[in-house]
A and B are shown apart, each in its own frame.
Chain A
Amino acid sequence: MLRTLHTVLKGGLAKNGVIGVNERNLTLINAHNPRALMHRVNDKVETKVLADAADIPNPALYGVVRNGRDLSKLEEMMAAGGDMGCVIKPAKGSQGKGVLVVDGPLMGGWRLANGQRVDAAAVRYHVTNILSGMYSLGGQPDAAMIEYRVRFDPVLERICFKGVPDVRVIVLSGVPAAAMVRLPTAASDGKANLHRGGVGVGVRINDGVTTSAMQGDRLIDRHPDTGEALGDIAIPHWDAILDMAARAYDVTGLGYVGVDIVLDGDRGPMLLELNGRPGLAIQIANRKGFREHLAAITALKIEKRDVATRVRFAKRLYETSFGVVSSDDEAAAGAVVTQLPNKTPAAAEAA
């Protein structure tokens, strides 16, 4: 451990441009995210309204419980999901706290995603806790959202253990800067949060193919539960994902956001939520410090340009910063990409 700390402090991290929490707070969040606009991402109901207005697909909202009176309509709202179940989550929650994934009705009660059966009273209690602010920042009163439960795309099923994987895209000044897929694990209790033990897999911005993976703060190559290799998987609908992520900037006006997108088997990519203070573990997943890459994006000053232009620049910049060969060139050379489909079901279908 001492030897590791020695190499680290000797300048390895500084040399690799790794951004720490202090730097993120000052030079990314404070500099790019006006506090007056943060409510757009902190309140998920508001995010949804904005996304709807901009035609960014997102899980349908069955209802919002804002106070005790709305509680009587809770079961009705949950029933809107039918056999598909629903998701109950605090509107101002963070880090997946207080999220209840309901699999579907079961013997007068409900079955949760983790297999547990709960009755109406238990769900109601959970919603009451959400309302009283137990999961919100600073304990302020909150609202509970009941929304469509995503059934994730089978492409990720093989490498996924329970729960819903999602794609996190970091968008700086409207330019998708980096991405990773977050996979739930047994350790994370089916939730895709990295600091609960979820797995993060870096994704190349230019072509949406996964690269390297991490869990906790260690690098891994295979999923800890399924044992499947995590690299070289092409994420479907990649261009749509990048397009959504870039548009999230126009919708919120926040210059540094984490855009969380789920891949629904039926409805394609959907905006799950936006995060105004995205974490830094994505650097480990991508095996690279982001300082230079983010500085290059800021230097471009293209936040006023249209979405397509920004995505085009995003891909090009990514290739430069991360030193990858453009996929077009690769295709032209008849290289790696043609071999990729064999490794992923989605690509196999495409082939």
Chain B
Amino acid sequence: MTSSVRQTLLIALLLIGGGLAIMATKVTRYDYPLTPGVEKTLWDFEVYMEFQGRDEPARIDLFLPTIMETRAVAGEQFYNGSFGMTLVADSVTGNRSAVWSYRYPSNKKVLRYAAEAEGERLATPLSESFNAIVAEDIPFEENVVKRQAFIVFLASLKRRSSDDVTFVDLALRSIFDGDKAAGEDADEIDALLDGSSSLTARLELARQTLAAQKIPARIANGVYLTGGGKRRADISNWLEYRLAEEDRRYFPSGDPKRFLTIWHGGEPLVRSRGVGEMDLQIGLQARSGAAVALADASSRADSPFLSLFSFGALPVTTQLVYKVLVTIPVGIMLLVFLRQFVGIETLGTFMPVLIGIAFRETALLNGVLLFTGLVVLGLALRFYLERLQLLLVPRLAVVLIFIVIAMAGVTNVLSDSNQSIGLSISLFPMVILTMTIERMSILWEEVSGSEAVKQGLGSLIVASLAYLAMTNQYVEFLMYHYPELLFVLMGICLLMGRYTGLRMSEAWRFRELARL
């Protein structure tokens, strides 16, 4: 392998690898969609705490949603005021908290935490900290009455159930909608709940019941992401448990479509010390939009490097230009392939791609008809001009002006008959047409008419394929939202630049030599 081959390979692999790595990061870390038209809802989550300082050391602990793969939380912001803030993570429960502290706060203070989250679904697996739950024995060791009631309740459940699944089902029904199905255990449940009917107490009892049956369970707390959003959302509690290797959640108030788990355990969301009464508001606001825009926003906030590979921050008109520009390399790459590997002959190197771009204005069929028609007309004129013996540049000018006149004629004729083709013609590139006509006519005279037609057709085929590739909605989407793919295209073109094999057309050309 020569050094130039090695270098080419190395650079090409670096470009392709780098481009794909950036793309992969965007897809996996920031959830960029791979297909156009994906809609996604993102929730702005905010905790607002207002309280009165009491001139004594103050400490406020707030649970924050733990960030993990299954729970995308991005763009976290802390408004600390004059407080000091530290983040604390509990390795056992997996809970994460912000701890604000201040020595002598006086008068009104405000603390705020804001983040955006996608939330979780019922199918979202439980977080890893769930595995850390340790098995428990029968609770209420210090309270004989409760312990006895629990044992009776447990025995009754076991008697009436056939396996863990029915056990859990029965236990949850008995605890949460007590009177109907589980009528006979009502007394025990009342005793265990101390007459309290609070949801948290019932959840704790359910957790203990499942734990006693060696089914790991824990209480999860968070918010439901439903409706459009709320100024004052409530904290909801539910039960997480794992039954037969399957992650399950039990929502006492019915299953929400989407929710955000904030912390686990029986503690309240905010624990404060040394401050007056607290006004706690949990705000939720749904933001819905193209998944790409949301991913763009979160990646830009997160990584200035990745924001280099996004056009989202540019003015809209510039964005529209780039939407077209970034697809052109795809057409170019196709052209390289068709020339170096297939061996299609075209007029001019990149001219077919330019024609393909022009087809954007007219759509394919109209474009091909228009192109062919104008080239035929122009060729006819060009052959006549040959008799007048004009200088080259003035002759080109005459052909160009003729093209404009012909285009105007076509537009007028066709707009009368209400054909949209006539109006789409406006920007059809007359310079490209003129050069095509000139090249074809020289080829016609110098080589042969068939060669000129062959190359003209080749150009038209490549132009059509390039047009189809460049306007394909997936290509447009991928190239515009993953401009790093330009590196990949560059790498591929580098590799194609070292291709020394035969072209498909040469396999035909040299077929006599293959028979030897």
By a beta-carbon cutoff of 8 Å, the part of chain A in contact with chain B is 1, 4-5, 7-9, 12-14, 16, 18, 20-23, 26-27, 95-98, 121-122, 125, 128-129, 132-135, 195-197, 214, 217-219, 283-284, 287-289
Contact = CB atoms under 8 A, between A and B. Distances in A.
28 contacts: A1-B508, A4-B508, A5-B508, A8-B508, A12-B516, A13-B506, A13-B507, A13-B513, A14-B502, A16-B513, A16-B514, A18-B502, A18-B513, A22-B499, A23-B500, A128-B391, A132-B392, A132-B393, A133-B392, A135-B442, A135-B446, A195-B447, A195-B451, A217-B509, A217-B511, A219-B512, A287-B513, A288-B513
A197 B501 CA distance: 26
A31 to B, nearest CB: 9
Nearest to A5: B507
Interface of B: 340, 343, 389, 391-393, 442, 446-448, 451, 498-503, 506-516
Contact of B446 (A13, A14, A97, A125): A97
B502 A22 contact: yes
A217 B515 CA distance: 13
A129 B392 contact: yes
Q: Which 7 A-B pairs have the closest CB atoms?
A: A12-B514, A132-B392, A23-B500, A20-B502, A125-B389, A8-B507, A8-B514
A7 B514 contact: yes
Given A128-B391, A288-B516, A8 B503 contact: no
A101 to B, nearest CB: 14
Nearest to B341: A22
A18 B510 contact: yes
A122 B510 contact: no
A18 B502 CA distance: 8
B513 A26 contact: no
A36 B506 CA distance: 30
A11 to B, nearest CB: 8
Given A20-B502, A21-B343, A26-B500, 17 more contacts: A5-B511, A8-B510, A12-B514, A13-B506, A13-B510, A13-B514, A16-B513, A22-B499, A22-B501, A27-B500, A96-B446, A97-B446, A195-B451, A196-B447, A217-B508, A284-B510, A288-B513
A200 to B, nearest CB: 12
Contacts of A21: 343, 503, 506
A133 B438 CA distance: 12
Contacts of A196: 447-448
B65 to A, nearest CB: 57
Most A CB within 10 A of own CB, among B343, B498, B503, B512: B512
A136 to B, nearest CB: 11
A258 B219 CA distance: 86
Which residue among B340, B447, B513 has the maximum number of chain A CB atoms within 10 Å of its CB?
B513
Contacts of B516: 12, 16, 287-288
A217 B447 contact: no
Contacts of B507: 5, 8-9, 13
A188 B96 CA distance: 85
